[in-house]
Chains A and B, each alone.
Chain A
Amino acid sequence: MKKNKKHKYKSRDETKNSPFEERKRFCPFSQKNSPTIDYKDVKLLSRYVSEKGKIIPSRITNVSRIKQKELATAIKRARFLSLMSYTEKKY
């Protein structure tokens, strides 16, 4: 019987922390004391908006799917109330 070659995944040993190592990615909103998403909190929301005022995708900001949906609705509400701009990033 052909012995199936078990792929031994390269286990990431902690000692070798080279900069190109895959860093542990975590969602900034689902930690213990992470801030709550609110359409009035313009300073927090504008951190997740690009220079042209577009929402940055969650694959770049590591935000979890549920929190990204809350973030998107909060940003759209802030835009409707013109607290945030549609086309540029206003600090």
Chain B
Amino acid sequence: MNKFEAVLLVSPEISNSQLNKELENFENLLANSKGKVINKENWGLKDLSFSIFNFKKAFYKYFQIEINGNEIKNLSKNLGQNDNILRHLFIRVEKHQELPTKLINEKE
């Protein structure tokens, strides 16, 4: 089971309830491909450095997950088809860093 860091950029147009629904189906996707979420972090609504699909802001979600390596391909395929998720990034790491991450410290 490899350790991954996942960052999701969710479009700012959707309501809060739909946002939670998006996260649930992301976790269901993880669950039925035998992965599990170690811990989550919400970087909140940040303004983008450049406009993606002409949105100026996006919700940033950060996950630390543990999943089999070859499940990542169809996982990112599903995320790609989803319109609400603008961008996603999976990064393989040796060990999970402890939270809060650097982005959260700057906020306080």
Residues on the A chain within 8 Å of B89, using CB: 77, 80-81
CA distance A82 to B103 in the complex (A): 13
A90 sits at the interface (CB 8 A): yes
- The contact size tier of chain A is 10 to 19
Residue A59 at the chain B interface, CB threshold 8 Å: no
Q: Is the interface of B mostly helix, strand, loop or mixed?
A: strand
Interface stretch, picked from B25-33, B47-55, B76-84, is B47-55
Contact present for A80 and B49 (CB under 8 Å): no
Q: Which residues of B contact A (CB under 8 A)?
A: 7, 9, 46, 48-50, 52, 58, 60, 62, 87, 89, 91, 97, 101-103, 106
Q: Lowest 5 CB-CB distances: which A-B pairs, in order?
A: A85-B49, A41-B102, A82-B48, A82-B49, A40-B102
